[in-house]
């Protein structure tokens, strides 16, 4: 089975991950897959919990040391609430062979519409991956979407409308700003492959589907 980074066509440089339904898990999976091929930095342009499995760096010198000794690290600054935000030293965007950046939040919901200031995409990015949780299919916008009013407006429906593959595709295509979509949670109870097949037919970009929990995936387009 091909590794996920291969299916998503991740290259050396900065990759931004946006959307919903598994961004952090995707970053962790990519980091472990990519470590044999070069140094890996995990960071964010918004707010995340500190990845506990990687050494933390607050300065360029600490990051260089961590990457030399461990091969992978996370970098950033801490907010008053204890969350990690973007590093405040110059050059972090190119400090490792692979820089993986979480570019927005979704309140752990499987679908999301982006506010005007989201996602926060670094200009140095080489690839942008949008994540969608398959568990959104069959739920209403009010139940499954972060920023439900905006999501409904983009789809041209009400917040009580059920999210179908075609509706989710309509919202994502209206927003754009990404190169490839990763549909996560295909191990969700009641999931049918017909759902992701219908979604893939409704979008105009590459689609990879999978389960980060079970570590299996495939490319549909």
Delimit the domains of the chain by residue range: 8-219
Residue 208, pLDDT above cutoff 80:
yes
Say whether pLDDT at 153 is over 90.
yes
Write down the pLDDT at residue 80: 86
Helix, strand or coil, per DSSP, at residue 25: helix
Average pLDDT over residues 65-88: 94
Checking if the pLDDT of 1 tops 80, the result is no
Q: What is the mean pLDDT of residues 148-162?
A: 97
Instruction: Report residue 99's pLDDT band, with 50, 70 and 90 as the boundaries.
Output: very high
Percent of the residues in the chain that have a pLDDT greater than 70, as a whole number: 100
Q: Given this model, what pLDDT does residue 218 score? A: 95
pLDDT score for 106: 82
Residue 82 pLDDT: 87
**Given a cut of 80, is residue 167 above it in pLDDT?**
yes
Instruction: Say if domain 8-219 classifies as CATH 3.40.50.300.
Output: yes
Question: Residue 40 forms beta bridges with which residues?
Answer: 72, 98
How does the average pLDDT of the chain come out, rounded? 95
Query: Which of 14-23, 106-115, 151-160, 183-192 bottoms out in mean pLDDT, i.e. has the lowest?
Result: 183-192
* pLDDT at res. 107: 86
Closest C-alpha among 99, 83, 125, 79 to residue 38: 99
- pLDDT tens per residue, range 107-130: 889 999 999 999 999 999 999 999
What strands, in cross-sheet order, belong to the sheet with 207-211? Answer: 56-57, 72-75, 40-44, 98-102, 13-19, 125-133, 180-184, 207-211, 216-219
Q: Work out the pLDDT band at 189, boundaries 50, 70, 90.
A: confident
pLDDT at 151: 98
- pLDDT for 147: 96
Rounded Cα distance, 126 and 97, in Å? 12
Residue 188, pLDDT score: 79
């Amino acid at each position: 089975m091909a590794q996920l980074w291969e299916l998503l066509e991740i290259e050396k440089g900065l990759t931004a991950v946006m959307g919903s339904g598994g961004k952090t898990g995707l970053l962790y999976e990519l980091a472990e897959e990519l470590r044999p091929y070069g140094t890996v930095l995990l960071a964010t342009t918004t707010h995340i919990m500190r990845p506990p499995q990687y050494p933390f760096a607050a300065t360029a010198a600490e990051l260089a040391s961590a990457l030399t000794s461990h091969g992978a690290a996370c970098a950033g600054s801490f907010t008053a609430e204890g969350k990690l935000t973007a590093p405040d030293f110059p050059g972090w965007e190119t400090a490792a062979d692979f820089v993986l950046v979480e570019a927005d939040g979704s309140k752990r919901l499987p679908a999301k519409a982006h506010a005007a200031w989201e996602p926060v995409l670094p200009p140095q990015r080489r690839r942008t991956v949008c994540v969608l949780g398959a568990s959104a299919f069959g739920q209403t916008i009010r139940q499954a979407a972060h920023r439900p009013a905006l999501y409904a407006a983009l789809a041209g429906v009400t917040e009580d409308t059920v999210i179908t593959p075609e509706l989710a595709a309509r919202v994502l295509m209206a927003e754009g700003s990404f190169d490839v979509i990763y549909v996560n949670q295909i191990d969700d109870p009641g999931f049918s492959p017909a759902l992701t097949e219908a979604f893939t037919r409704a979008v105009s970009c590459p689609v990879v589907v999978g389960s980060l929990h079970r570590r299996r995936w495939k490319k549909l387009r």
